[in-house]
Every structure is written in C-alpha cells, then in structure tokens.
C-alpha cells in the first residue's frame, strides 16, 4: 500500500488505508463493470477480464490491515 499512498502524495497509515478502501468501495461496482462489458460487446471491442475479483481482494486486504 505504500506505493498507493506515495502516488496520492500521502503517508501510508491506517487512516489512509481506510480512506482508500472507502474510495474503492464507492467506485467499484459489478453492475458498472457489466455495463461496460456489454457496451464493448455491442461495439465489437475486445473482451476484457473482470477486475472485480482483484478489487474485492484488495478491499478485503485494506480492511484487514487498517
């Protein structure tokens, strides 16, 4: 997590990890991901792997570490 904190110009701390977890929860939604998958299908874009499993794992790791 130190790299995420450094990229945000913040210090890695339990408070920062809680803040990052809240942001990820707010902006990670399976429905939104599915929407973009369907838009891609309609437009003939290459299929993309789901990012939700890694995001869910990361959010759980943040919760466990803060």
User: Phi-psi region for residue 49, left (φ > 0), alpha (ψ -120 to 50) or beta?
Assistant: beta
Domain with 25, as residue range(s), is 14-65
23 SS3 class: helix
Domain assignment present for residue 51? The answer is yes
Match 């929860």 to its residue by tokens.
25
List the structure tokens of 11: 């210090």
Torsion sign (Cα): 9, 18, 15, 64:
negative
Q: How many domains does the chain have?
A: 1
Domain assignment present for residue 39? The answer is yes
Chain segment 11-56, per-residue pLDDT in tens: 999 999 888 888 888 888 899 999 999 999 999 999 999 999 998 8
Domain assignment present for residue 7? The answer is no
Domain assignment present for residue 27? The answer is yes
Question: What does the DSSP 8-state code read for residue 45?
Answer: P
pLDDT at 1 over 80: no
């Amino acid at each position: 997590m130190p790299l995420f904190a450094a990229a945000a110009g913040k210090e890695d701390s339990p408070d920062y990890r809680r803040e990052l977890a809240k942001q990820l929860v707010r902006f990670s939604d399976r429905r939104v991901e599915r929407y973009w998958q369907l838009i891609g299908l309609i437009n003939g874009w290459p299929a993309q792997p789901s990012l939700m499993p890694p995001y869910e794992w990361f959010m759980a790791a943040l919760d466990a570490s803060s």
